[in-house]
Amino acid sequence: MDEPIFQTKYLASKVRVYEDRVEWRMLLKRDVIPLNQIASVEVSMPMYTKVTIETTGGKRFDIPVPMSKKKALQEAIVKAQQNLKKS
């Protein structure tokens, strides 16, 4: 089993970035987003605890993340995407 590159949680939301995917859990809901299908990662306005991931198919995931971890999550996804393209 592979280890996450980055992980964080906020209230009932947990997000993990792996070498090839992002996993997000919220209560009983679980989504797996392949990195090669992520078109953009947007950090919300300063006082909002949200990162929005949009896929190449137009699906949007609004993920609750602590304000102090929003930029780190965005950077981890971008870096993992770059590493995926190199391999």
Does 87 fall in a domain? no
Residue 1 maps to a domain: no
Query: Does the model's pTM come out above 0.75?
Result: yes
Which residues span the domain enclosing 56?
6-82
Are 21 and 4 spatial neighbours (Cβ–Cβ below 8 Å)?
no
What type of residue sits at position 44? S
Position 74 in a domain: yes
Average pLDDT taken over every residue of the chain: 94
Which residues touch 18 (CB under 8 Å, ≥6 apart)? Answer: 2, 4, 5, 80
Q: How far apart are CA 58 and CA 41, in angstroms?
A: 12
Q: Is the pLDDT of residue 87 over 80?
A: no
> pLDDT-based confidence at 1, cuts 50/70/90?
low
Kindly state whether residue 56 falls inside one of the protein's structural domains: yes
Report the CATH number that the domain containing residue 41 is assigned in CATH. 2.30.29.30
- Per the domain annotation, does 30 fall within a domain? yes
Residues whose CB is less than 8 angstroms from the CB of residue 21 and which lie 6 or more positions away in sequence, other chains included: 32, 33, 34, 35
Ramachandran angles phi, psi of 15, nearest 5°: -130, 140
Percent of all residues in the chain with a pLDDT value above 70, rounded to a whole number? 99
Q: Examine residue 15 and state whether it is found in any structural domain, yes or no.
A: yes
**Res. 44 pLDDT band, cuts 50 70 90:** confident
Number of folded domains in the chain?
1
